[in-house]
């Protein structure tokens, strides 16, 4: 059972969804800290800024696919080049409303993506995923 | 005044007299280009947009047939006419059978006959171009439609999913019953709209996509689908028996659509007062086909409805289906040459029997 020690990074260009998912995670109490990013590059910036501070590393990232400028897949292309210790520490799932079979296949084929969650985010679905990965998450 | 199109004709012959005679006969009707050798002809072909090529069969360095065989790859569009004596029928038959030559004219030519041949050749050329333009147009329309569908699946669905997310928050904060039944009604409507969007996309994708060939692991797919559909309703018990020892190749998307709709129906149309809601799924896979049985002890289908359930927008009176699920199942099976049979009665429930050929 996950407890409130971890940090989660939400990356979504849609501020309503960002607010909804913030509230859902906040109410479920899975994480102590929720970091909100309105774009892929904001997410990359956050990680870059904190690379030397393992205490500030997110334990978990929820990434949207459809975003202007840098979409989820482009984010992953940059993300995969972060140092190994960081990638070993942090887990990433996609959270998208996509029904596009191509998107779904592409996301599932990416080794850095532990799961494709479909919007809306359900607390029990997230909890199940976190339980499965709680050892890896260290939370 | 009707303007006639400019038809550009290239005539290749090693005899200058023939070239001159040709020019004299046809210069009023066509834009004429002449060449004294195959090499010179090729040069013109590279620089001018020629519609019809006429070549003499007997030339010093090459034959007309060989020349055509050479240009058919680099310049496939111009229509090719061969000018020949009676002597080399065999080479000629071969060339015609390979599609290198559209027509042949015997020498010495008859002006009227040659004129008609050029006219027909140009019509063939035009037909070919029209077809190609139509193809390009069609591809463009198709692309646009694909983009449109893609944007429906994102732009139209994204805000709807936000609404459903807000309803979930309302539940989590204990406000669901705070406004009478209004939140419940909003939830019902939102779910219905989402369902229609999903089914419409499934239907569209099924009609359009060429079947793909990927390896199908029935055990995995069925388990995933059961997990997905029992997420909100865990009352129904599933017994799954899979016998798959051979590789099965088919279309992954369509198989998922078929099984997903049937599994979802089996859960949705249970008897409300049945204490042991059960669905049995059996899959037998061999070299040739997969046979799938999906049996439930649900409410069953009226005999007079059995023939109609695969029709678009057919709905049972008592139940709130969309009239799309089984229609899409049937359409998807048709695309991958599968079959479906159903038997049902009100007492025992419903059994669907499906066969899908192994495309390996």
Instruction: State pLDDT tens for residues B326-341.
Output: 999 999 999 999 999 9
The pLDDT score that the predictor gives to residue A1 is 42
Cα→Cα distances B332→A115, A137, B175, B206, B337, Å: 27, 41, 42, 6, 9
The pLDDT score that the predictor gives to residue B3 is 60
Instruction: State pLDDT tens for residues B175-221.
Output: 999 989 999 999 989 988 888 888 888 888 787 777 888 899 999 99
Average pLDDT over residues B253-266: 92
Both tokens of B178, joined, read: 């705070």
Distance CA B347, CA B72 (A): 70
A2 pLDDT higher than 70? no
The pLDDT score that the predictor gives to residue B320 is 67
Q: Is pLDDT larger for residue B308 or for residue B125?
A: B125
A17 touches chain B (CB under 8 A): yes
- CATH code, B8-109: 3.40.50.2300
Which range (A65-74, A84-93, B224-233) has the least confidence?
A: B224-233
| Confidence grade of residue B318 (pLDDT, cut at 50, 70, 90) | low
Distance CA B308, CA A91 (A): 49
Helix (H) or strand (E) holding A47: helix A40-49
CATH 1.10.620.20 fits B214-357, yes or no: no
With respect to residue A34, please indicate whether it lies within any of the assigned structural domains. no
List the domain range (segments joined by +) for residue A83: 1-28+39-50+60-97+110-119+128-139
Beta carbons of B162 and A99 less than 8 Å apart: no
* Chain B positions touching chain A (beta carbons under 8 Å): 150, 153-154, 157-159, 161-162, 164-166, 168-169, 172-173, 197-198, 201, 205, 231, 253
Distance CA A2, CA A130 (A): 7
The pLDDT score that the predictor gives to residue A138 is 46
The pLDDT score that the predictor gives to residue A40 is 95
With respect to residue A44, please indicate whether it lies within any of the assigned structural domains. yes
- The residue of B147, B154, B252 whose CB has the most chain A CBs within 10 angstroms, and thus the best one to mutate to test that interface, is B154
Chains A & B: contacts with CB separation below 8 Å = 55
Cβ-based contacts of A98 with chain B (< 8 Å): 153-154
Which range (A21-25, A49-53, B136-140, B145-149) has the least confidence?
A: B145-149
| Confidence grade of residue A9 (pLDDT, cut at 50, 70, 90) | very high
Q: A46 to chain B nearest CA, in Å?
A: 26
User: What is the residue whose two structure tokens read 């463009």?
Assistant: B140
B43 pLDDT higher than 80? yes
Both tokens of B148, joined, read: 């449109």
| Confidence grade of residue B87 (pLDDT, cut at 50, 70, 90) | low
Q: A28 to chain B nearest CA, in Å?
A: 9
Portion of chain B with pLDDT greater than 90, in percent: 55
Domains B8-109 and B214-357 share a fold: no
B171 pLDDT higher than 80? yes
The pLDDT score that the predictor gives to residue B4 is 67
| Confidence grade of residue B79 (pLDDT, cut at 50, 70, 90) | very high
Cα→Cα distances B219→A122, B211, B285, Å: 26, 21, 11
Cβ-based contacts of A26 with chain B (< 8 Å): none
We report the CATH number of the domain holding residue A90 as 3.40.50.2300
With respect to residue A102, please indicate whether it lies within any of the assigned structural domains. no
Angle between helices B157-172 and A15-28 (to 10 degrees): 30
The pLDDT score that the predictor gives to residue A139 is 47
A42 pLDDT higher than 90? yes
For residue A124, the chain B residue with the least C-alpha distance is B231
Q: What's the structural domain count of chain A?
A: 1
Domain extents for chain B? 8-109, 143-208, 214-357
With respect to residue A33, please indicate whether it lies within any of the assigned structural domains. no
A24 touches chain B (CB under 8 A): yes
B300 pLDDT higher than 50? yes
Average pLDDT over residues B151-168: 88
Q: B204 to chain A nearest CA, in Å?
A: 12
Both tokens of A86, joined, read: 């960081």
Average pLDDT over residues B120-135: 94
With respect to residue A104, please indicate whether it lies within any of the assigned structural domains. no
* Residue among B282, B253, B254, B264 nearest B325 (CA): B264
If DSSP states are collapsed to H, E and C, what string results for chain B? CCCCCCCEEEEECCCHHHHHHHHHHHCCCCEEEEECCHHHHHHHHHHCCCCEEEEECECCCCEHHHHHHHHHHHCCCCEEEEEECCCCHHHHHHHHHCCCCCEEEECCCCHHHHHHHHHHHHHHHHHHHHHHHHHHHHHHHHHHHHHHHHHHHHHHHHHHHHHHHHHHHHHHCCCCCCCCCHHHHHHHHHHHHHHHHHHHHHHHHHHHCCCCCEECCHHHHHHHHHHHHCCCCCCCEEEEEEEECCCCEECHHHHHHHHHHHHHHHHHCCCCCCCCCEEEEEEEECCCEEEEEEEECCCCCCHHHCCCCCCCCCCCCCCCCCCCHHHHHHHHHHHCCCEEEEEEECCCEEEEEEEEECCC
If DSSP states are collapsed to H, E and C, what string results for B261-284? HHHHHHHHCCCCCCCCCEEEEEEE
């Amino acid at each position: 059972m996950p407890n409130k020690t971890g940090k989660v990074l939400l990356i979504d260009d849609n501020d309503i969804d960002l607010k909804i998912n913030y509230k859902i995670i906040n109410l479920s109490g899975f994480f102590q800290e929720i970091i909100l990013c309105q774009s892929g590059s904001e997410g990359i910036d956050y990680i870059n800024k904190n690379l030397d501070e393992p205490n500030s590393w997110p334990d978990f990232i929820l990434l949207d696919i459809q975003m202007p400028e840098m979409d989820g897949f482009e984010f992953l292309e940059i993300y995969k080049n972060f140092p190994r210790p960081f990638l070993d520490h942090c887990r990433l799932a996609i959270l998208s409303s996509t029904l596009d079979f191509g998107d779904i296949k592409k996301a599932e084929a990416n080794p850095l993506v532990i799961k494709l969650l479909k919007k809306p985010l359900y607390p029990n679905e997230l909890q199940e995923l976190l339980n499965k990965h709680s050892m890896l998450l260290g939370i | 005044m009707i303007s006639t199109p400019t038809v550009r004709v290239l005539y290749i012959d090693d005899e200058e007299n023939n070239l001159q005679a040709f020019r004299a006969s046809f210069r009023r009707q066509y834009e004429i280009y002449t060449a004294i050798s195959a090499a010179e002809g090729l040069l013109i072909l590279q620089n001018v947009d020629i519609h019809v090529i006429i070549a003499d069969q007997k030339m010093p360095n090459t034959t007309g047939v060989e020349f055509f065989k050479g240009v058919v790859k680099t310049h496939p569009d111009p229509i090719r006419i061969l000018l020949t004596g009676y002597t080399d029928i065999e080479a000629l038959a071969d060339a015609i059978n390979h599609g290198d030559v559209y027509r042949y004219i015997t020498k010495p030519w008859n002006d009227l006959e040659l004129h008609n041949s050029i006219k027909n050749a140009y019509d063939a050329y035009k037909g070919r171009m029209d077809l190609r333009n139509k193809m390009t147009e069609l591809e463009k329309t198709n692309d646009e439609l694909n983009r449109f569908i893609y944007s429906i699946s994102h732009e139209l669905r994204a805000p709807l999913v936000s609404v459903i997310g807000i309803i979930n928050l309302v539940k989590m904060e204990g406000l669901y019953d705070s406004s009478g039944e209004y939140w419940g009604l909003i939830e019902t409507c939102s779910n219905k709209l989402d369902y229609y969007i999903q089914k419409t996309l499934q239907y569209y994708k099924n009609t359009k996509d060429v079947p793909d060939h990927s390896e199908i692991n029935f055990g995995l797919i069925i388990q995933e689908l059961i997990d997905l559909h029992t997420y909100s309703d865990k009352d129904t018990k599933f017994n799954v028996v899979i016998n798959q020892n051979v590789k099965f190749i088919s279309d992954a998307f369509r198989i998922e659509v078929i099984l997903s709709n049937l599994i979802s129906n089996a859960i949705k149309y249970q008897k409300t007062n049945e204490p042991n809601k059960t669905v049995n799924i059996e899959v037998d896979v061999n070299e040739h086909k997969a046979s799938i049985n999906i049996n439930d002890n649900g409410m069953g289908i009226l005999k007079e409805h059995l023939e109609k359930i695969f029709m678009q927008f057919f709905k049972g009176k008592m139940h709130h289906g969309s009239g799309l699920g089984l229609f899409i199942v049937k359409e998807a099976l048709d695309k991958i040459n599968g079959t479906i049979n159903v038997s049902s009665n009100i007492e025992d429930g419903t059994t669907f029997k499906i066969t899908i050929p192994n495309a390996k």
